[in-house]
């Protein structure tokens, strides 16, 4: 008797499931990578937005004596970028999508240092390297308005890059930073080199 067998064997079914599994893993990995790229794009846009607005509204703003946290101004002026949030819990802070926090600070303590500073602190994240790249890229973009930009290294040392008006041949200039320079600086900030530590970056202007 002739039997028309239209079914599939167990081996064939397992093979199909294995292929589906491999494709699914690849799709999930691709989706995760795309989402991370999107978050980093939103992050650098948000930092540019914060810097641009901070530089603009502080230009004619009187400075309180001493050192003062002025971060609340972003909330008061309703200029918190998408993906960022403002929190008032003892110390005014803006948090980004990586849970790093930002403080706008004014100072009259050091007449030769800065009048205004936007401080960025990274805590407990696996994304120090791309965040660091974003911050250096933003600093370079605003080199004509910043006095200097400081990267605090895990060993406590500092790297200073100067804005256009304060740049000399003996100083590292923001406008001259190359992609390789950014990569080398940010490798040191990688969490594997600085596990659980705090990385800080300062945008300063007079």
Question: What is the band of 21 on the pLDDT scale with cuts at 50, 70, 90?
Answer: low
Pick the most confident of 4-13, 28-37, 56-65, 142-151.
Answer: 142-151
Instruction: Let me know if residue 3 belongs to a domain.
Output: no
Q: From residue 53, how far is each of 49, 78, 110, 113 by CA, in Å? A: 6, 11, 24, 21
Instruction: Let me know if residue 89 belongs to a domain.
Output: yes
| Higher per-residue confidence, 190 vs 79 | 79
Percentages of the chain per state (helix, strand, coil), in multiples of 5:
40, 25, 35
Instruction: Let me know if residue 28 belongs to a domain.
Output: yes
Instruction: Let me know if residue 59 belongs to a domain.
Output: yes
Reply yes or no on whether the pLDDT at 22 is more than 80.
no
Reply yes or no on whether the pLDDT at 64 is more than 80.
no
Its pTM stands at 0.82
Q: How many whole angstroms separate alpha carbon 63 and alpha carbon 91?
A: 18
Reply yes or no on whether the pLDDT at 26 is more than 60.
no
CB 163 within 8 A of CB 147: yes
What is the chain's mean pLDDT, rounded? 85
Reply yes or no on whether the pLDDT at 42 is more than 70.
yes
Dihedral over Cα of 43, 48, 53, 58: its sign: positive
| Number of domains within the chain | 1
Domain that holds residue 122: 10-205
Instruction: Let me know if residue 79 belongs to a domain.
Output: yes
Tokens 């603009």, located at residue: 56
Tokens 């540019």, located at residue: 48
Q: How many whole angstroms separate alpha carbon 15 and alpha carbon 12?
A: 5
Domain of 89, CATH number, reads 3.30.1690.10
Buried b (16+ CB within 10 A) or exposed e, 120-138: bebeeeebbbbbbbbbbeb
Instruction: Let me know if residue 87 belongs to a domain.
Output: yes
Residue 143 DSSP SS3: coil
Q: Percent of the chain scored above 70 by pLDDT?
A: 82
Q: Percent of the chain scored above 90 by pLDDT?
A: 57
């Amino acid at each position: 008797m002739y039997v028309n067998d239209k079914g599939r064997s167990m081996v064939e079914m397992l093979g199909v499931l294995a292929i589906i599994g491999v494709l699914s893993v690849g799709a999930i990995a691709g989706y995760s990578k795309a989402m991370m790229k999107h978050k980093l794009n939103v992050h650098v846009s948000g930092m540019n937005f914060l810097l641009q607005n901070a530089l603009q509204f502080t230009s004619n703003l009187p400075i309180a004596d001493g050192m003062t946290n002025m971060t609340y101004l972003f909330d008061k002026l309703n200029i918190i970028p998408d993906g960022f949030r403002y929190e008032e819990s003892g110390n005014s802070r803006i948090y980004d999508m990586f849970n790093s926090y930002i403080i706008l600070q004014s100072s009259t303590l050091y007449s030769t240092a800065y009048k205004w500073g936007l401080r960025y602190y990274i805590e407990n994240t696996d994304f120090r390297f791309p965040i660091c790249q974003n911050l250096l890229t933003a600093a370079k973009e605003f080199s004509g308005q910043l006095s200097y930009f400081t990267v605090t290294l895990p060993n406590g040392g500092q790297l200073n890059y100067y804005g256009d008006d304060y740049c000399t041949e003996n100083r590292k200039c923001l406008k001259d930073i190359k992609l390789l320079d950014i990569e080398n600086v940010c490798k040191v900030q990688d969490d594997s080199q600085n596990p659980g530590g705090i990385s800080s970056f300062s945008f300063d202007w007079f």
